[in-house]
Amino acid sequence: MDYRRRGECLSVNQPVKLFQPENITIPERKVLLRLGYRDGKTLFEGKAVALVSQLLENAKLEIEWNCHYRHHLIDLIDNDQIELNECPFFLKSRDLANHLKRSSKITFFALTLGNRFFNYIENYSKEKRVAEAAVLDAVGSEAVEAFAEKFSSVIKDLARRDRCSITKRYSPGYGDWNLGVQKNLLSWLSAEKIGISLESSGIMIPEKSITGVIGWKRNG
């Protein structure tokens, strides 16, 4: 497989940009589902539902929605390697190359709910308030997913203006795309400026953070 796509979609590589959405809905029902609730099968008492609702509202005050992203032209996709114009590293993954086939451009992104929210959960854990910590962890998981979906919709709108469509987002750790790329990816996105760091184990801090790529494909 050898795809070369120069000069399509946006024609110029761009620097890191900041995306901070003003309002993202965190679906309470999905939080309940993540906690094990099932219609007609799980009985959630009024106090339990009230706890979820209250912690969900409290969490919104602690979340800092921050995302760094940048667009780059794809120079070459060949079997298991994606070469990027003016990018200091290669992306090596057969599954990612297949995912990006026919893409002429790529959007890198790193997004996070921020350290304040991470510390908010940690405080409940330290106080051994297990139920509250579990609810907040579920809230965080749904919040960061909603954030990623919101960002994808923004990129979709940008692509449409250039008569392009986008791929689904794809993150390190999917398929054969090794998590070892995280260090380069976070550096390339200046992710430290929005508070994301990488532990020696490869885990991102704060944990409610997502990195990934989205491909742009020329329609027609």
Cα separation, 62 vs 172, in Å, equals 27
pLDDT given at position 41: 58
pLDDT given at position 42: 55
Cα separation, 70 vs 100, in Å, equals 16
Q: Which residues contact 76 (CB under 8 A, 6 or more apart)?
A: 2, 3, 4, 82, 83
Say how many C-beta atoms besides its own lie within 10 A of residue 91's C-beta. 23
pLDDT given at position 6: 40
Q: Which residues contact 134 (CB under 8 A, 6 or more apart)?
A: 35
pLDDT given at position 47: 76
Point out the residues of the chain with pLDDT beneath 70.
Answer: 1-13, 38-46, 220
pLDDT given at position 122: 94
Cα separation, 92 vs 98, in Å, equals 11
Domains of the chain plus CATH, in order, are: 2-218 (3.40.109.40)
